[in-house]
Amino acid sequence: MLRIVHYINQFFAGLGGEEKADLKPDVRSGPVGPGRLLQSLLQGKGEVVATLICGDTYFAEQPEESCRRLADLLFTLKADLILAGPAFASGRYGFACGEVARMALQELKIPAVAAIHHENPGAQAATAGAYIVPCGSSAASMKEALPSLLALGIKLAGGSAVSPDVDGYLPRGIRKNVTAELPAAVRAVNMLLAKIAGHPFTSEIPLPQFDRVPPAPPIPHSREATIALVTESGLVPAGNPDRIESSRASHFARYSIDGLQAFTPGKFESVHGGYSTDLANADPNRLVPLDVARRLEKAGRIARLYDYYFTTVGNGTSVQKAQAFAREIASEMRRSGVQAAILTAT
Amino acid sequence: MLTVHEHLVKNVHLGAENSLRDGLLTIAPEEIRALATHPLIRSVELHIVRPGESIRIIRVLDAIQPRAKGGDGAVFPGFLGPARVAGAGDTHILSGCALLTVSPLPRAQEALIDMAGPGANLSPLARENLLILEFTPVEGAPWGEYEAALRLAALRVAAHLGGIARSAPPGRRLRVPPASSAIGLPRVGYIYNIQAQGSFKDTFVYGRSARDILPTLITAGELLDGAVVSGNYGHPSLKNSTYAHLTNPVVKELLSRDGDDLAFAGIILKPEPVTLEGKELVAEYAAKLASQLNWQGAIVTKEGGGNADTDLFLAAEKCERRGVRTVLLMAELAGPDGRTPPLLGSQPEADSLVSVGNYEEPVSLPSVERVIGGDSLRLADGPVAGPLTIPTAPIFGALSPVGIGSLRARAQ
Amino acid sequence: MAKELEREGIPTALLCNIVPIALTVGANRVVPTRGIQYPTGDPSLPREQEEAWRERLLLTALEALETPVDGPTVFPPDSSRLE
């Protein structure tokens, strides 16, 4: 018998409208408001054992505190499943439902689903990892929204495998390996024949939208700038003292170039596993241009080269790691008065 | 016309005399050792390993499906025998088994196969009966020459094993014509990207490195006769082993559907240059060939990591602009939790993608009873026979770019 | 990483060969190199000329650092290969 806890706001709990939107998280026994319809849909497969209620304004202004209180309330309820909403197009309610669904799943490890209209900003919780089923924009669609909310919830609580294609929830931006039902070659030929014939087909990998970063302001003149050399080529002192991995590097390193006029072959090497490194090892300045950078420094074209260069291996490195490295490196650069970077990549 | 005789091997063991009877392959070890002799090879140890055994194999370099010609000529032309155009006559292949080369090789990326457990589902080689040649180098052997010696030894052994099948009762027979005779069906071809960068990341065509070639036509028959051989020790799950070249599922699928719902219009072998200028040239050139041959569509596969995605997308761009529709097979770099945007670099024309899995998804392997190939792993701490959590990446063939694996990634 | 350093406020000139990837991912100051295996090299040239090429790349990188840009921008070091 599935123990379900339903999350709704003050309005759907029948406690009032905007004037009660500051209600703190509270719990009632059994189903309340739309929860009764949910209960009737269950047909003995489960029970709405309790309803959590929170004012939309209270949640919007204090999301962490709200979640903390709701988590405390949930602790004693021994829920197998949490269902939130439907929130339709209500912004604050949608935000709360999405957050509750995410928090329950990721922090409390309880299966959870929210029903939110896909254009409701609260639906963004999907990309943070919550299961969100889209629903209509007004309460007029309550009768359609509840069954879809329940259906996915029951599947998750039962441990079934789910996917956006089959179960209709909003993409969470998560990719998971599965055993393919048909070999890749067969799927590829099928897809190609459909494409040639002008029939619809679905690409298996979504094309990404990369975020644009506003460019950093330029340096006024390199003659006055301290510049650091950075590389993804895997150039390290011979022997790879900090054991940077040849692919999927877990860290970066910095090495002193203080007093060094150039990289000497044999004293430095590349540990990058993604390309043939013979040419680079024959002259490591082909990876990080220390020799020429020093000449430009001497000639006053660069005020100063930073005393260290930064290195890692950009071979199969995940974007998350790259971001983490860059944050640390930038932080050190700012502390040390480095104003710009030259980054070589392979 | 090539006639392939496929002999199914259900079990392998060492014995006094070579034979293949009722699916049992008996191998006389002394002849194998003799074929694997070379001044730079200090020793070779033979292991027979079967699907389901609690065995982990590490330091895997290459895999080869055994085969031999029925009459004149040699398989793996340019390595065994002179480089003569292959793809005709009779070729005997042993399915259900493969030869594996295992050795330390510093420039090789760590590669692993578990024969049982969750790891076994991920490596296509784990479902084969394996004869493993575990090599050790002579002290001070230059690695490039040692690697070439291993390759030659393995190819010799593979042909020798194939030769055992010659006198066995015939298995399945498959006729592989040099060209399609289908009319009135969509003309579909295959653009086959191979990674050839030179030392330790190379692919050989008729014994020569494919590094600087222009895209060229090659037939299924030539591939089946071993005209393309791997010398690539980069990403183990993303490279094409010789086994992958020999059993290429894209080629098989196109052959099997030729005359049914498509006309198999040919194969363009295309290298993956290391400069953008080179990549643009070969992509344009391959698209030119495809369009010259009136292809309506092309399946495109790659070899290697993110760098090779550019070759894939350029091929799509150049082909689509000439009216050749494309579908691309590729692995995803979606991060250990599957949340990183799945592609690095793309063109609008690359809108038809088939996934072969997320490279970085972690997999937990249980401990095993026996390990072949070494006593330590660079890619994980802890005992090599113990439980390991590793990304999918080092599992040999797991994300095979030509689809010998069984993974794909899905939205979750 | 170039994009991430820029996000942190450090103008960064990225020297790389596969320019389309760099632009798609959003690196803002991109200087095209001649080869993946040698970002600041060109082994086809005799030593002196290779160093001259390296200097040209570096000067272009400095120019990129000194230039305000609106988005991903390529700074070609040289359109001629006859140096």
d(CA A204, CA A185): 13
Mutate to test the interface with B, among C1, C4, C14, C18 (most CBs of B within 10 A): C18
3-state secondary structure of B242: helix
Q: Which residues contact A19 (CB under 8 A, 6 or more apart)?
A: none
d(CA A18, CA A224): 59
Q: Is the dihedral of CA B307, B310, B313, B315 positive or negative?
A: negative
How do residues B233-278 score in pLDDT, each as one tens digit? 998 999 999 999 999 999 999 999 999 999 999 999 999 999 999 9
Task: Say whether pLDDT at B208 is over 90.
Answer: yes
b/e map A217-254, b = 16+ CB within 10 Å: ebbeebeebbbbbbbbbbbbeeeeeeebbbbbbeebbb
Mutate to test the interface with B, among A205, A250, A272 (most CBs of B within 10 A): A205
Taking CA atoms, A201 is separated from A191, A204, A206, A263, in Å, by 6, 9, 13, 53
d(CA A172, CA A189): 28
Least confident of A120-129, A150-159, B141-150, B261-270: A120-129
Question: Which one of A176, A248, A318 has the shortest CB-CB distance to B410?
Answer: A176
3-state secondary structure of C6: helix
B chain contacts of residue A274, beta-carbon cutoff 8 Å = 234, 304-307
Question: Which one of C17, C19, C21 has the shortest CB-CB distance to B344?
Answer: C21
d(CA B267, CA A322): 38
d(CA B133, CA A344): 40
- Name residue B190's beta-bridge partners: B267, B299
How do residues B325-352 score in pLDDT, each as one tens digit? 999 999 998 888 888 766 655 666 678 9
How do residues B287-315 score in pLDDT, each as one tens digit? 999 999 999 999 999 999 888 999 999 99
Q: Is the CATH number 3.40.5 carried by domain A2-167?
A: no
B34 class by beta-carbon count within 10 Å (0-12 exposed, 13-18 middle, 19+ buried): exposed
d(CA A339, CA B127): 56
ipTM summary value: 0.96
Inter-residue contact B100 to B57 (CB < 8 Å): yes
Question: Which one of B274, B345, B346 has the shortest CB-CB distance to C37?
Answer: B274
Taking CA atoms, C35 is separated from A99, A226, B293, in Å, by 48, 27, 32
**CB neighbourhood size of A134 (10 A):** 19
pLDDT for res B343: 62
B chain contacts of residue C44, beta-carbon cutoff 8 Å = none
Inter-residue contact B352 to A201 (CB < 8 Å): yes
Inter-residue contact B191 to A188 (CB < 8 Å): no
| Radius of gyration in angstroms for the set of CA atoms belonging to chain B, rounded to a whole number | 20
The tokens describing B222, both together, are 């030539």
Q: Where in chain A is the domain with CATH 3.40.50?
A: 2-167
Number of cross-chain residue pairs from B and C with Cβ atoms under 8 Å apart: 33
Q: Which whole number is the average pLDDT over A78-100?
A: 94
- CA nearest to B108 within chain A: A273
What angle do helix axes A34-42 and A142-157 make, rounded to 10 degrees?
A: 50
- CA nearest to B275 within chain C: C35
- Name residue B254's beta-bridge partners: none
pLDDT for res A185: 98
Task: Say whether pLDDT at C19 is over 80.
Answer: no
Question: Which one of A163, A187, A276 has the shortest CB-CB distance to B354?
Answer: A187
d(CA A230, CA A205): 32
User: pTM for the complete prediction?
Assistant: 0.75
Q: State how far Cα C74 lies from the chain centre.
A: 8
